[in-house]
Amino acid sequence: MTTALPKDSKALQVLLVDDNPIQLSLLRHLFQRHGHTTLEAKNGAEALIILATESPDVVVSDCVMPLLDGYQLCRLLKDDRATRHLPVLLLTAQGAGLARFWAKTCGADRFLVKGRDLDHVVEAAAALVEQSERPRAAHTVPRLAQENFGVDAIQRRLAQALEQRLVETALRDSIARLYTAEHDTLRLIRGFIEILQELVLPGALLVAYLGEDGTWCYGVHGSSASEEDRRDLEKAIRQHTLADTNGECHWHPVADDEERRRSLRDPVLRVLPAVTPGHPAVSALGFLTERRAAEDYERLFEIAAEELGRLLSLEDSRLRLYHQAIRDPLTGLYNRRHILDMLDMEVDQCGRFGQNLALMLIDLDHFKSVNDRFGHAAGDQVLSVMAQRMSFGLRKVDQLGRIGGEEFLAYGPQTDLDGVRALANRLREQVALEPIPGLPASDRVTLSIGLTSWEGPEDTVERMLSRADKNLYQAKAEGRNRVVG
């Protein structure tokens, strides 16, 4: 008796593969009872013959069979572009150990234990079909079905499949080692491109990464990829995943060896998003190469995009954690610990090379009254705006950090006391030119600044800060909004 399908379900065509006739009959009964049709094969080789003419929705296969077992069948299906998206459900009598391991490594979509899980086989198969991203295109004949189905052909394809797995593992391992060796975004991207460029050139390969520090867009190209080709690749990679990316792409030519120095006869341009589950898309991989190469290395490119997403998601997380550790969350400036660590290294440089160094301790005048009159939210606004104005007012070589409530520290490498005094006065005047948003226009926040400079090999950070603090105290005592030092 056939059980009617639920209204939201569809009848499936299921390819059953099992060398045990009793087990095969049981599976047939289970699926047909739920309204599905079945195709049957006694081993993996027969299954491949059936797939030459039929296009089932899912394969349900035993693991242990003669001639071509379920693991080998699954590996061949997943390595063939014609069948790689076909869901495969493996069944075994062994519930632990190597059986489960091999089921995962051969690419099976699901693994069930006979007896214990067999009652759920129809439900599991239907779920795989529903989740499958299998294209609904015209039936394509698997590669092996286009050859002689002899033992030699099967062994050759299995050897190729195992070699493909080895290459995939080596690719994953090579990319993973980049992160253990380097913690610099550009070097990570360059290392990744070096690993992949042999698959692509003489075309072009481009990686775009949108991180906390801005956009990286880096690529390499062979002699056959024209400037117009490269611009098309840039445009495609931006449109595909990084529409807000407007940074310039940096291209570098790579020398082609003699046999590859030719024009692309049948070029294809592809872009793959580099994403990791649970992370926002921060990167994309784009390439221009021969169509044949794109098809032959399709799986490798997909794995590369997956690994790039993982690599740059780790880098993105590392940078975010690093910035959280060194930045003041309110103003975005360096926090006390980091700015003092940087100052300590700068003083060490002065001792080694005899360079000048000057610093300023900066305090916002009458900041407590802002909090008292307008509230702490207004006070936070003042701190944020003044931090931004001070950052814009300093030179690129200067460093600025927040070391207390309304107290800031800035230092200028290779700057003497006269130089830092001129800089401090200019800074004091600039930050008070405009009113603070949210405060009355007449309320201008001013700065009191204490200065000092490095006084020789015996000088230390602590002594410099003590001198600057005394000068800051004097600036406040003399009426504020002034520079002393």
Q: Which active-site residues does the annotation give?
A: 406
Q: Say how far apart CA 192 and CA 286 lie, in whole Å.
A: 13
Answer for the pair 192, 178: CB distance below 8 angstroms, yes or no: yes
- Counting other chains too, the contacts that 192-198 makes at CB distance below 8 Å and 24 or more residues apart are 192/304, 192/308, 192/311, 193/218, 193/219, 193/220, 195/171, 195/304, 196/287, 196/304, 197/254
Are the C-beta atoms of 200 and 219 separated by less than 8 Å?
no
List, edge to edge, every strand of the sheet that includes 88-92. 37-41, 13-17, 58-62, 88-92, 110-113
Distance (Å, whole) CA 190 – CA 180: 15
Question: Which one, of 278, 269, 268, 206, lies nearest residue 242 by Cα?
Answer: 206
* Beta-bridge partners for 430: none
Tokens of residue 154, six digits: 């099967």
Question: What are the C-alpha distances in Å from 456 to residues 99, 141, 350, 416, 466?
Answer: 71, 80, 8, 12, 16
User: Residue 91 carries which side chain, given as an amino acid letter?
Assistant: L
